[in-house]
Amino acid sequence: MKNELIESNPKVMMGKPVIAGTRLTVESILERLAAGETPEQLLESHPRLTKPAIYAAIEFAAQALRADVVYPVVERAA
C-alpha cells in the first residue's frame, strides 16, 4: 500500500496516516466527507490540501479495509 500523498510517522499525530507534509489525518478527511462536507469545502478549509490528496485518503482507507479482518459493528442506542 504505497501512496506518496499519504505518510505515517510516529512523531506526527501519533503515527496515524496523514496527508504528506501536513497534520491532516486520513481519518479526519473521511469523517468530514461522511458528515456531508464536500471536497471543495475541505479544500477551502485547508489551503495545503489538494483534490488528489483527498482521493488518496479515500483510496488508502479502501485498501486498508481489504485486509481479512472482521470489523464489529456497534449498535447505537435509539
- Per-residue pLDDT at 1 exceeds 60: no
**From CA 49, how far away is CA 5, in angstroms rounded?**
10
**Lookup: cell for 65:** 479495509
Segment 17-74, tens digit of pLDDT: 999 999 999 999 999 999 999 999 999 999 999 999 999 999 999 998 888 777 778 8
Please report the pLDDT score of residue 12 as a whole number. Answer: 94
What Å distances lie between residue 35 and 28, 38, 39, 41, 42, CA to CA?
Answer: 10, 9, 12, 12, 12
Tell me the residue type at 25: T
